[in-house]
C-alpha cells in the first residue's frame, strides 16, 4: 500500500500526472472542492496539462464554510493530489489528478479575497450546489434579503458568502486597475451564468451601487452545461482504492466514464484551451443545458422517489426494478422529451438511451438517497418547468404529477415498509409537515408557492396529483406504478 503524496508519485501503481507540478501556477480560484468538481473540471485541466498546456491555470481551492476545513486538511496532506476512478460497466481505470496546487484556509475571507485580487487569477469558478445561489423560488431570482447576503451587504469588507467574497475580490481589482476575472458557474442550474451574474451584481448593489454597475458592465459570466455522475465518497470507495489499486488515498473520487462540458466562450482575460481535451465551446449553451437538466436531472427524480419508497439503495438497483425502469421510460418518452427543444447535432432519444445506460451502470455505486437529496431546490429546476411547459401547451401531466406525488409521499418520512427516512433536504421539517398534511388535503403540498409557484394552483396538475397521492397512501408504490403503467 502506497500513501498518496508528491514524494511517493513514482511508487504509485496507477497513472500519475505526466507533467512537472512545480511548474504549475494558480490561475483559477474554485469554490466548492466536492467530488463533482474534482471528477469534472479538474480532470479536464489535468488532461490538458498532460499535453503540456494550461500550466498557468492550476486550481486554487476555496471554501466558505468552516466544514470545508476537513477537505482542505485531507488534500493538503496529500499535496493536493487525489485519485479519480472512472468506471464503465465493464472496467475501472484509476488516475491521480494533479491540477490543484493549493487550498486557501476555509472560511478565511481575507485570504480568499486576497487571492482573488491577484492578477494571475483569471477565472473564479463555482460548484456550490443548486441550493447555494440564494434563489427565491417565488420569484425565481436572487434574494438579496437573505440574512447571509444582507450581512455581507452591511459589512462588505469582511464577507462570509461566496458572492460577498467575489464582490470584494472584484472591488480590489477595480481599485488596483487590474482587469476582472471571469466568474464561471459549474452547477446544474438553468442559465447558471446569468444566475451567478445576478447574485454577484445584486450583492454588490447592497453596499456599492457604482461597483455593481461596474461588475455588470465589465465581468463575464459564461453559461455552461456540465455532466458526470459522481457519487459521494464513503468508506466503501476508500477501501476499494486500497484493495483494487494499491493506493492509500483519504479522498478518492469514483465517477462514471462519461463526461461532458459545453461552455460559452466568454473569457476576456483568457482561458485554458480546453477544446483540445473535449470541452465544447458554443455561442449559446441553452439547448444543451435544457436537454441535460430535464432529461438527465429530471430523470434522476423520476427514478429516485419510487425507489426510495421501495427501500432500494443503489441507483443501478432501481434501474433493474422493472416498474421503476418502465416508469422512467414512459415519463421520459411521453412527457419530458416531447417538450425539450431541439439540440444541434443531437438525437434526444439517443441521448436519453445513453442516460438510461449510465444510470444502470452497476460500478458507480450511486445511491438513491443522493438522488432524493434537496428536492426543494431541485424540483423547481428539474421537474416543475417541464410541468409548466406542458400545461402551457394544454398537454397532460399524469406521469409528472405522479412523480410529484411520490416526492410528497417520500417527504412524509417513512418508506412503504414503515422504515424511517432520515432528513434529506435543507427544508426537511417544512416538507414533512406539508407532506403529512397533504394526506388529507393535497393542496397543502402544491400550495408551497416557494416551490411550485403558480403551477401548483393549476387544476390540471392538482387533480392527478391528488389522485396519485391517495393511491400511494392506500395501495403503496408498487401497485401505484403498475396502475400508471397500465394506462
Domain regions of the chain by residue span = 2-283, 286-486
Res. 219: pLDDT tops 90: yes
Q: How far apart are CA 365 and CA 314, in angstroms?
A: 6
- How sure is the predictor about 365, in pLDDT bands with cuts at 50, 70 and 90? confident
Mean per-residue pLDDT over the chain, rounded: 96
Q: What are phi and psi of 105, to 5 degrees?
A: -55, 135
pLDDT of residue 1: 87
- How sure is the predictor about 99, in pLDDT bands with cuts at 50, 70 and 90? very high
Place of cell 485570504: 111
pLDDT of residue 139: 82
In this prediction, what percent of the chain has a pLDDT beyond 90?
A: 94
Res. 89: pLDDT tops 90: no
Q: How far apart are CA 484 and CA 334, in angstroms?
A: 13
From the list 335, 361, 332, the residue with the least C-alpha distance to 349 is 332
- State the average pLDDT over residues 136-148: 89
Q: CATH number for the 2-283 domain, one of 3.40.50.720, 3.30.70.260, 3.30.360.10, 3.30.420.40? A: 3.40.50.720
Query: Is 54 within 8 Å of 276 (Cβ atoms)?
Result: no
Res. 375: pLDDT tops 80: yes
pLDDT of residue 149: 98
pLDDT tens column, 256-308: 999 999 999 999 999 999 999 999 999 999 999 999 999 999 999 999 999 99
Res. 137: pLDDT tops 80: no
Q: CATH number for the 286-486 domain, one of 1.10.1040.10, 3.20.20.370, 3.40.50.1110, 1.10.10.10? A: 1.10.1040.10
Query: Is 383 within 8 Å of 301 (Cβ atoms)?
Result: yes
pLDDT tens column, 5-47: 999 999 999 999 999 999 999 999 999 999 999 999 999 999 9
Q: Which residues have CB under 8 Å from 398's CB, separation 6+?
A: 335, 464, 484
- The pTM for the full model equals 0.86
pLDDT of residue 239: 96
pLDDT of residue 354: 96
Res. 185: pLDDT tops 80: yes
Res. 353: pLDDT tops 90: yes
Q: Which residues have CB under 8 Å from 36's CB, separation 6+?
A: 127, 186, 226, 228, 230
Neighbours of 348 (CB within 10 A): 18
Neighbours of 364 (CB within 10 A): 22
pLDDT tens column, 388-424: 999 999 999 999 999 999 999 999 999 999 999 999 9
pLDDT of residue 482: 98
- State the average pLDDT over residues 114-127: 98
Q: Which residues have CB under 8 Å from 55's CB, separation 6+?
A: 19, 23, 24, 25, 49
- State the average pLDDT over residues 316-333: 98
Res. 138: pLDDT tops 80: no
Q: How far apart are CA 300 and CA 140, in angstroms?
A: 22
Q: Which three cell numbers stand for residue 2?
A: 502506497
Amino acid at each position: 500500500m502506497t500513501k498518496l503524496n508528491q514524494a511517493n508519485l513514482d511508487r504509485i501503481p496507477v497513472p500519475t500526472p505526466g507533467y512537472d507540478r512545480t511548474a504549475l501556477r494558480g490561475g483559477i480560484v474554485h469554490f466548492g472542492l466536492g467530488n463533482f468538481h474534482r471528477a469534472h473540471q479538474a480532470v479536464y485541466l489535468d488532461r490538458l496539462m498532460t499535453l503540456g498546456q494550461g500550466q498557468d491555470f492550476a486550481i486554487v481551492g476555496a471554501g466558505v464554510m468552516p466544514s470545508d476545513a476537513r477537505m482542505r486538511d485531507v488534500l493538503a496532506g496529500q499535496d493536493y493530489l487525489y485519485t479519480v476512478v472512472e468506471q464503465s460497466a465493464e472496467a475501472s481505470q484509476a488516475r491521480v489528478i494533479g491540477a490543484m496546487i493549493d487550498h486557501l484556509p476555509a472560511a478565511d475571507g481575507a485570504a480568499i479575497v486576497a487571492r482573488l485580487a491577484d492578477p494571475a487569477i483569471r477565472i473564479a469558478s463555482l460548484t456550490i450546489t443548486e441550493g447555494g445561489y440564494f434563489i427565491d423560488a417565488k420569484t425565481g431570482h436572487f434574494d438579496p434579503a437573505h440574512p447571509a447576503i444582507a450581512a455581507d451587504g452591511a459589512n462588505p469588507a469582511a464577507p462570509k458568502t461566496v458572492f460577498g467574497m467575489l464582490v470584494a475580490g472584484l472591488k480590489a481589482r477595480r481599485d488596483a486597475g487590474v482587469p476582472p476575472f471571469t466568474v464561471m458557474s459549474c452547477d446544474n442550474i438553468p442559465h447558471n451564468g446569468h444566475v451567478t451574474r445576478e447574485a454577484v451584481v445584486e450583492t454588490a448593489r447592497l453596499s456599492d451601487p457604482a461597483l455593481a454597475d461596474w461588475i455588470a458592465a465589465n465581468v463575464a459570466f459564461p453559461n455552461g452545461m456540465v455532466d458526470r455522475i459522481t457519487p459521494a465518497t464513503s468508506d466503501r470507495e476508500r477501501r476499494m482504492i486500497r484493495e483494487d489499486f494499491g493506493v492509500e488515498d483519504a479522498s478518492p473520487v469514483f465517477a462514471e466514464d462519461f463526461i461532458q462540458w459545453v461552455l460559452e466562450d466568454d473569457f476576456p482575460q483568457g482561458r485554458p484551451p480546453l477544446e483540445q481535451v473535449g470541452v465544447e465551446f458554443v455561442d449559446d449553451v441553452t439547448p444543451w443545458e435544457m436537454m441535460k437538466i430535464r432529461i438527465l436531472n429530471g430523470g434522476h427524480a423520476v427514478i429516485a422517489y419510487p425507489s426510495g419508497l421501495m427501500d432500494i439503495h443503489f441507483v443501478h438497483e432501481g434501474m433493474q426494478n422493472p416498474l421503476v425502469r418502465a416508469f422512467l421510460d414512459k415519463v421520459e418518452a411521453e412527457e419530458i422529451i416531447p417538450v425539450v427543444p431541439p439540440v444541434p447535432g443531437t438525437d434526444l432519444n439517443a441521448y436519453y438511451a445513453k442516460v438510461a445506460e449510465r444510470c444502470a451502470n452497476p460500478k458507480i455505486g450511486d445511491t438513491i438517497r443522493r438522488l432524493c437529496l434537496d428536492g426543494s431546490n431541485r424540483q423547481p429546476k428539474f421537474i416543475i418547468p417541464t410541468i409548466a411547459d406542458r400545461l402551457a401547451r394544454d398537454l397532460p401531466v399524469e406521469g409528472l404529477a405522479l412523480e410529484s406525488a411520490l416526492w410528497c409521499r417520500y417527504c412524509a418520512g417513512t418508506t412503504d415498509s414503515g422504515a424511517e427516512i432520515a432528513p434529506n433536504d435543507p427544508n426537511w421539517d417544512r416538507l414533512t409537515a406539508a407532506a403529512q398534511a397533504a394526506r388529507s388535503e393535497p393542496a397543502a403540498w402544491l400550495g408551497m408557492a416557494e416551490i411550485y409557484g403558480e403551477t401548483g394552483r393549476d387544476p390540471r396538475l392538482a387533480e392527478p396529483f391528488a389522485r396519485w397521492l391517495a393511491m400511494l397512501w392506500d395501495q403503496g408504490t408498487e401497485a401505484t406504478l403498475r396502475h400508471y403503467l397500465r394506462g
